[in-house]
Amino acid sequence: MTTAPAHAGWRFRQPSVIPGFGLTLGFSLAYLTLIILIPLSGLIWRSAALGWTDFWALATDRRTLKALEISFGTAFIAAAVNVVFGTLVAWVLVRYRFPGRRVVDAMVDLPFALPTAVAGIALTTLYAPTGWLGKLLMPLGLKVAYTPLGIIVALVFIGLPFVVRTVQPIMEELDKEVEEAAATLGASRFQIITRVLLPSLAPAIITGFSLAFARGVGEYGSVIFIAGNLPYKSEIAPLLIVIRLEEYNYPAATAIAAIMLALSFAMLLVINLVQTWSRKRYG
Amino acid sequence: MEVRVVNVRKEFERFPALHDVSLDIKSGELIALLGPSGSGKTTLLRLIAGLERPTKGAIFFGEEDASQKSIQERNVGFVFQHYALFRHMTVADNIGFGLKVRHGAARPSSQEIRRRALELLDLVQLSGLEKRYPAQLSGGQRQRVALARAMAIEPKVLLLDEPFGALDAQVRRELRRWLREIHDRTGHTTVFVTHDQEEALELADRVVVMSQGRIEQVGTADDIYDTPNSPFVYSFIGESSSLPVKVENGEVWIADRPIGLEAPHAPPGEAVLYFRPHDVDLLDGCSGCIAGTVAASRRVAGTRRVELEIGGERQRVEIELPVDHPAAQKSRVAFRPRRWKLFPKA
């Protein structure tokens, strides 16, 4: 058993015995800088040019706040829905053998590949008050298209593969003996799922959630078709950015973008920390 | 708790894994299921646990027919080769799990569960590690936690599936002695599966030798080693040599010569002679003995193992000589088995 101080805080890790540490680290940093850091710092730079009072005025604009609330709120709800049903889909795919399993398995990836606009238009056609599903839901008082509910439906569609594809491999690795051990100790099927299986899947589920959530916050193509885009009601932040750009109002666009960036980064950081913590505990 | 396996047959998708197996396990006994892989020993253990259902036959715990009960109701302690600990729980939570999942009045208070977990931790000599996670323990320590977890529910039977299989030789010997001590102290009826004959013979009160889905022999270490009842047991347990022979007039013959072994009750005809390589008398002359040319000689620990070619057909057998024995230098060695057994030719 090695008990090297592998997790001794923020100390710089000694290069390992594998050669090429300097080269690969240098490459990684240069690549990340080029692809992610430079464009993003450009964004910060532009919005910093605004000045604090102007920035604050733009950021606290009621329409901006509402758009941000809709974006993050719907993305959160959609990711939560995906966690439940994505885990269920993964469970069925991993645990059961049935004819057509491979087809279903491949279908999960479709939202990855489909142009998002196509997804948006298809969903809108389905859920519009005259569409197949919309027609059935109207009498129940449920209006999906052109409401925040429609945004959630689109984001659920887009985010599903993120949850399934992160949970599935971990689920496949679950040791059947652990379940058997729990059963011999007297645990019912329900107790085995809630006390043994789900806790060991938690890290993967959190990852799936954060990916689906991040994707949902940034989603544009599918949402603008189904959302109806009514200001203060179903207008998402990315759309507001585009609107501002079309008005040549670059400062406002960068301000909204900067806020989105800050919020997303903060949330993803928190999720990552939760994950590191759970990984450390469960090994 | 007494366990009776009655005429159990188990098929996996038409492939039979156990043929009509019956076994009586006495209360408080420590019994080993020994056999090569594919012999059905693990299947038998899993059937007793309820992790598999028999295709035919029944398993009784005392007077109760346990085969009608679910795994949860059987109240057995099962220890897996790869520990199967809950890695998101501390050691104490792992041990207390079986008590925590009970319902209503059967569930002890959380202080009681904790007290019980610490007590068991003490029994398996891991006091002070209750707050660790399984990932922070060594293999041997994990297996002890697994055993403590299985014992926490006061099982009727303790079942261990190759409990030391994943551990290195040193830890294995240590845990073997320790398991015997725990068994003597707690008195649980215990069944363990192993493919390591040394482990089975040293540890168990009785050994069940299995092969190809059948029980070959059941007995104490002495019974199994000294009076094997089949060629399989003879060659599977310990070292053995065999020679094709002929029985005539109540005597054992090799080719055209009697070798000085009387077999008055053996049916005449062809047979196979089994003996242990170390259980032989070396002879000088040869009137009524087995003689062969030395084909190879190897030093094995405290003895010298000599391979002999016997007769015109050059049948090879192994015998063991003391290291300093003069016969080891000769090109021709004569001997006669001291203890031996004849089996009909297969």
pLDDT in tens, B115-164: 999 999 998 889 999 899 998 999 889 999 999 999 999 898 999 999 88
Nearest chain B Cα distance for residue A4, angstroms: 13
- Interchain contact A97–B (C-beta under 8 A): no
Residue that the structure tokens 């000689």 belong to: B297
Task: Give yes or no for a contact between B340 and B261, defined as CB atoms under 8 angstroms apart.
Answer: yes
State whether residue B80 sits within 8 Å of chain A by CB.
yes
- Label residue B13 by pLDDT band (50, 70, 90): confident
Nearest C-alpha in B relative to A177 = B84
Please compute, for residue B94, the number of CA atoms within 13 A of its CA located in the half-sphere on the CB side.
31
pLDDT in tens, B182-224: 899 888 999 999 988 888 998 999 999 999 999 999 999 999 9
CA distances from B156 to A137, B28, B84, B274 (A): 57, 10, 20, 41
Question: ipTM of the assembly?
Answer: 0.83
Which of B42, B43, B72 should one mutate to test binding to chain A, selecting the residue with the greatest count of A CBs within 10 A?
B72
Tally the C-alpha atoms within 13 A of residue B174's C-alpha that lie toward its C-beta: 12
Average per-residue pLDDT for chain B: 89
Query: Which among B49, B134, B135 has CB closest to A184?
Result: B49
What is the rounded distance in angstroms from the CA atom of residue A104 to the CA atom of residue B23?
Answer: 47
Residue A148: is it exposed, middle or buried by C-beta count within 10 angstroms (0-12/13-18/19+)?
A: buried
Greatest extent of chain B over all pairs of C-alpha atoms, in Å: 81
Q: Is B53 on the interface with A (CB under 8 A)?
A: no
What pLDDT digit, counting tens, does each position of A103-134 carry? 999 999 998 888 989 999 999 999 988 888 88
pTM: 0.79
pLDDT of residue A282: 62
List chain A residues with pLDDT less than 70: 1-15, 281-283
Residue of A nearest to B134 (CA): A282
Q: Residue B248 carries which DSSP code?
A: E
pLDDT of residue A14: 62
Q: Out of A52-56, B109-113, B317-321, pick the least confident.
A: A52-56
Within 8 A by CB and 6+ apart from B119, the residues are: none
- On chain A, the residues whose CB falls within 8 A of the CB of B152 are 185
